[in-house]
Structure formats: C-alpha cells, structure tokens
Amino acid sequence: MKLKKFSRLINPQSIALVVVLLVNWALFPGFFNVTWQDGRLFGSLIDVLNRGVPVAILAIGMSAVIATKGVDLSVGAVMAISGAVAATLVTDGYPAYVAVLAALAIGIVCGVWNGILVAFLEIQPIIATLVLMVAGRGIAQLITAGSIVTFSDPLLIFIGTGSFAGLPMPVVIAIVLLVLSVFLVRSSAVGLFIESVGVNRAAASLAGIRSGLLLVAVYGFSGFCAAVSGLIVAGDIKGADANNAGLWLELDAILAVVIGGTSLLGGRFSIAMSVLGAIIIQAMNTGILVSGFPPEFNLVVKAGVIILIFTMQSPLATRFIESRKNARALARKAS
Amino acid sequence: MKFFTKLAVAAGVAALLSSAAYADSLKGKTIGFSQIGSESGWRAAETSVTKQQAEKRGINLKFADAQQKQENQIKAIRGFIAQGVDAILVAPVVSTGWDAVLGEAKDAKIPVILLDRGVDAPQDLYLTSVASDQVKEGKVAGDWLVKTVGDKKCNVVELQGTVGSTPAINRKKGFEEAIKGHDNIKIVRSQTGDFTRSKGKEVMEGFIKAEDGGKNICAMYAHNDDMAVGGIQAIKDAGLKPGKDVLVVSVDAVPDIFKAMMNNEANATVELTPNMAGPAFDALDAYWTSKKVPEKFIITESKLYTPNDDPKKVYEEKKGLGY
C-alpha cells in the first residue's frame, strides 16, 4: 500500500520538476539557498513559488473549465479588469475591503457571462471566451483611462507583497485556494458532475445533472480565480497596468493544466497537478533568469522543455515504459 | 482638490511651453493629426501635448484616432485632404504602404509631417519627420553612469525591452557605446523585462539572487521607466537601497520615475519627449513664413533628468498629460 502511494508520486510531472530544478541548480549553484530576511524567506526557490502563483491560481479555475471540455481564454483580461477596478476604487477613496470585494465580484460576473454564453447560448467555449479576452482588456483600459493607476493602500499591497508565516502572501493565498477547491470537488460529488458534463453533456443532463447551472458555476469560479490573480499582480507592482496585467497568461494557464495531465477533451482533471504544472513553468522562467542566458534563448529553452514533458506523457512513451516493465516482469518469472 | 489639480496642470502646461510669442503664420490654420491610438501612456501624453501645442499657437487641430489600424489612418488622411486642411501630422502605425495616400496629399499641395516613426516612402512625399534618437537615449544614460561612477568598478544589470523591438535594440546599443573603453563598467547580466513593471520586478529579483543577494550589483539600467519602477521594488524587497546601493538609470521620463526620484530611489532618466508636435509646428511656421524647407529628419532632444532637476516639479507637470 505504502509502495503504491509512493509510486503515485513518480509521474512525468514530478520528474520534470525535479529535473528542471536540478538543471537550475547546475547553472546557478545558489539556487537552493533560502535565507531568512526581514521576517520572511528569501531565495530563488521562494521566487519560483511566488512568481508561479498568478498562473497557478488561473490554472485552478482553468482545470475545472477544461474538465467540462471547455476553455477560458478570458482569464488574462479578467485579471486586468479586477486589478483596474480595485486600483481605481482605492484611489477614489473607497476602503480597501470594498475594492477587493468589488474586484472579486467583477471577476465572478465576467465568468458568469462566459458561462451563460457557453451553457445557454451554446456558443463554443473558445469563441465565447474570446469575446471577453479581446473586449475585457479594452474594458480594463477604459477603467484606468489607459495609464497605470498606482496606489499606496496597505491592504492591496499586502495581498501582492506581504508575507504570512514567512511565506509570501500570494503563495499563502494560492495554497488556501488550492486546498479549498480540491476539498470542494473531491469531498462532494461536484468533481464527478464536472467530469460527467465534460464526457457527455447530454448524457449528464439525462442523468439528472443541471448541466447549464454547473457550467455557469464553473466559469464563474474561473472568473473568480482570475480576479484573485489580478489582485495579486496589481498588489505586487502597487499599480494596475491594464495594458500588460495578465497578458498572454491564459495560454500559460492552459499550458499548466495540460502539463498537469488534464486532457483538453474534458472528463478527467486534477487541480493539484495543474498547480504543479504552473510551478514547472515558473521554475523554467526563474531558471532562465538566474542562469545568465541571453534573452533570445528564453522561448527556445521553454519550448524544448515543454516538448520533452509532452513526449514523456504521450501514449507512445507510456506504452514503451509499460512494455519494458512487462518484459522485465516476464524475464524475472522465467529466471 | 480637483481645482488644485487643474491649477497644477495649467501651471505645468505653461511651464512646458516657452514664453516666446508664436508667429502668426500658424494662427487660424487647420491642421489634421492622425494618431496611432492610445496603446501606451507615452502615446496618450503625445496626444495631449499635441493638442496643447496646437491650442497655444491658435491652430485648429483636427484629431483622428486610428485605433492601431493603417486603413483608418489612410481614411483619416483622405478625409483631411477632402476638407482642405493646411497641413497634416501623421504618427504612422506601420512603415510601409504610404506612397499612394502621401502622393494624394502632395498633389493637393498639403505638407505632411511624420511624428515619432518613419515610413518607407520617397522622401519628397513628406515635408519632414520628427523623431527621437533611441541610440542616443541609451548613450545619454550610459554617459551619465560613466561620469557618476568614475574609475570605480561597476557591475551593471540591464533590463531589456521586448526582445527584437527597435527601442530595445537601439537603447542597448547606445548604452554599450557609451561604456565602451571604460573597463571598470561591465554589463554582467541582461534579460528582457518586456517593458512592463511586473516583468521588470521579476527579472530584477532573479538578478539579485544570482549576484550574491545584490551585493555584486552597482547599477541597474532599464530600457524604460516602468521596468525600472518594478526593479526598484525588487531592490527594496531584497533589503537594499535603490538609488544608493544600486544606482538606477532608465529611459522615457514618465511621471512615476520622478516620484521615485523624489524618494531618492532613482538616479537618472533620459526623456523620450512626448512633444513631437512642437518642433513640427515650428518647422511648418518656418516653411510658411520664410519658405524655408526643413531638414528631412528633425531629432528631438534626449534630455537627462536627475534628482537635481526638481523631480517634484517635473512630476506635477507630467502628471496631467495622460501618461
């Protein structure tokens, strides 16, 4: 039993993460150094976690969406909207908690809008969410009037740069969100419902699942996650940058989910593995920064690693490993 | 409060414009301005400065926002020609495909001035172009650093703009030219921060870890102020003093870098002036009053600002421009 549990930890994703971290360590010997400074942990490993948070949180919402055989392209734009709303509200003198709640609410509204387009107008998710991906950034720019709205509100800044128990606040938020969402989908039947809608929505509906409502809820959750991410990114730079906040992060979030082993065809998903995928992506990014490679290599290195991970996950590789295992088992039996 | 903001803006505007009286040749003239859009704070500032410059000189400015599309710009220029404007300013969104419409303007005898970017078209199709010299911007930044550190050994980390973009290439080139021959100054790390605050912060965090907690870094050179602002936060998070432990020099001169200068967290910035229209109007004035054909390429000044230049005042001047 124990062995089985241990072997579950050996999967292409964990191997990839360990390999990426070891390569980083080889390129930059101080990679694993973590020190205590100003009441918080400080080091490259902490950077990996901290910088990986925005994509990790997006990936939490994205996993659920992709499990329903959908996709949410609007999350990057929703991040920009949420940051813009929070920043303009606090600079207009509203208390910070109002700004935070408003930003989260706007995120949910954006998600619900996507959900309605997908569930009730039955527009293909990629198209439905593309609308908000394009329009959303425009909305964010309208809110901030095209400039970076800077703020000095302590609560918003704490969300992005504070620390709790030595860990950066964004990491704490991500862990809480991860634990809550995993608990929600796995301790109840919600996860099963999501998967059944992803496999076959018509069959799920016939089986008594209110699939429309479920889809709206799932997209709403993704919007909520995007809003949390947007608050963190804005708090981090003490300003809302409507032009750049969350730009192209929807693609990183999808990538994280796919690296985590969730199929784009829906039906089976793991939120924890998606978060692991996000950390792998960030481990690469941070590694490139500390390694001293010229920036022209960034994307090439990233592409190389990703191709490697996908090859490791491919059915061909799995079959190959299985057949080697069987052959070894047979050989053992024969001897 | 609002009133005071307005007052400050008005004061800033007044200070921006020289007190000299403008010649009458521009007064009452109608000039069309086809702007690219408002994709960045600088672009928004360019638009508002152009409007101010026109108002100051009594020019009737017709403004057209192309929303990043060339066809909109071509439409706008044809519209200006049909209305019979006296001159046209264009900030071209792309460099190719202008021959036809510029030819139409030439046939209508309307002078065209290009702002901020150039085009691939015969030079006789436009009167002149006003732009900044990006290589020089990098060079001014580098010269400042050379002068400031003297003979001391100085390891520089560079936050580049988007890989392959013209300003990133040119600002890097200019800086490298400036520090050439000064072996005490060395660029030890260079990565792209994509011209954004959050990437600038992330990259600087990485650099600090990689350079012994930042103790090996003497200066940070950022290709734009936004990345510098992000980098400054990263320096502070690492327990170092930006502006003192790590010198900060960048390009653009947006309002927020002056805020940092007020707190002595930034040391120098090179201005990419949003006032491209001023020199353009001056050239038109000279052209109309004394038939003087201007040079084909008017280069704007790359002015260096340091904390000695009253950053608070500059901040107040720039704040209302829409950066």
**Binary contact (B209, A244; C-beta < 8 A):** no
Closest to A238 (Cα-Cα) out of A143, A152, A145: A152
Q: What average pLDDT does this structure show over B181-201?
A: 95
DSSP, residue by residue, B164-216: T-HHHHHHHHHHHHHHTT-TTEEEEEEEE-TT-HHHHHHHHHHHHHHTGGGTT
Task: Choose among A37, A286, A295: nearest Cβ to B192.
Answer: A295
The alpha carbon dihedral of A72, A73, A74, A79 has a sign of positive
Q: Return per-residue pLDDT of chain A as tens, 335 residues.
A: 455 566 667 788 898 899 999 999 999 999 999 998 888 899 999 999 999 999 999 999 999 999 999 999 999 999 999 999 999 999 999 999 999 999 999 999 999 999 999 999 999 999 999 999 999 999 999 999 878 899 999 999 999 999 999 999 999 999 999 999 999 999 999 999 999 999 999 999 999 999 999 999 999 999 999 999 999 999 999 999 998 999 999 999 999 999 999 989 998 899 999 999 999 999 999 999 998 888 988 889 889 988 988 888 888 888 888 888 888 888 888 87
Q: What average pLDDT does this structure show over B131-136?
A: 95
Residue A38 with chain B: CB contacts under 8 Å: 239
Distance between CA atoms of B253 and B269, rounded to whole angstroms? 6
Interface test with A, best of B42, B171, B198, B263 (most A CBs within 10 A): B198
Residue B201 with chain A: CB contacts under 8 Å: 236-237
Task: Choose among B41, B189, B198: nearest Cβ to A233.
Answer: B198
The pLDDT score that the predictor gives to residue B17 is: 46
A144 touches chain B (CB under 8 A): no
Pair of tokens at residue B295: 């040079």
Residue B322 with chain A: CB contacts under 8 Å: 145-147
The pLDDT score that the predictor gives to residue B22 is: 55
Q: In CATH, which superfamily holds the domain spanning B2-132+274-319?
A: Response regulator (3.40.50.2300)
Q: How far is CA A179 from CA A22, A48, B93, in A?
A: 27, 19, 48
The pLDDT score that the predictor gives to residue A325 is: 81
Q: Which residue has the higher pLDDT, A291 or B89?
A: B89
ipTM of the complex: 0.90
Integer distance in angstroms from the first to the last C-alpha of chain A? 27
pLDDT in tens, B118-128: 889 999 999 99
Q: Do the domains spanning B2-132+274-319 and B134-271 agree at the CATH topology level? A: yes
Do the Cβ atoms of B54 and B74 come closer than 8 Å? no
A147 touches chain B (CB under 8 A): yes
Which residues lie across from B63 on neighbouring strands?
Answer: B33
Q: Which residue has the higher pLDDT, A233 or B10?
A: A233
Chain B: give the shortest CA distance to residue A296, in Å: 7
Q: What average pLDDT does this structure show over B23-37?
A: 88
Domain spans, chain B = 2-132+274-319, 134-271
Interface test with A, best of B176, B197, B203, B259 (most A CBs within 10 A): B197
Task: Choose among A141, A147, A292: nearest Cβ to B323.
Answer: A147
B202 touches chain A (CB under 8 A): yes
Q: In CATH, which superfamily holds the domain spanning B134-271?
A: Response regulator (3.40.50.2300)
Helices assigned H by DSSP within chain A:
2-9, 12-27, 44-67, 75-91, 96-119, 125-144, 154-161, 169-187, 190-199, 201-206, 211-237, 249-259, 271-291, 298-313, 315-334
Residue B155 banded pLDDT, cuts 50, 70, 90: very high
Pair of tokens at residue B244: 């003192």
Residue A141 with chain B: CB contacts under 8 Å: 38
Distance between CA atoms of B284 and B287, rounded to whole angstroms? 5
Task: Choose among A47, A150, A161: nearest Cβ to B206.
Answer: A47
Q: What average pLDDT does this structure show over B33-57?
A: 90
A158 touches chain B (CB under 8 A): no
Q: What are phi and psi of B270, to 5 degrees?
A: -105, 130
- Enumerate helices (H) and strands (E) in chain B, giving the number of each: 11, 12
Q: What are phi and psi of A43, to 5 degrees?
A: 165, 170
**Binary contact (B190, A238; C-beta < 8 A):** no
Task: Domains for chain A: give ranges and CATH numbers.
Answer: 40-292 (1.10.3470)
Task: Choose among B38, B163, B256: nearest Cβ to A150.
Answer: B256
The pLDDT score that the predictor gives to residue A313 is: 82
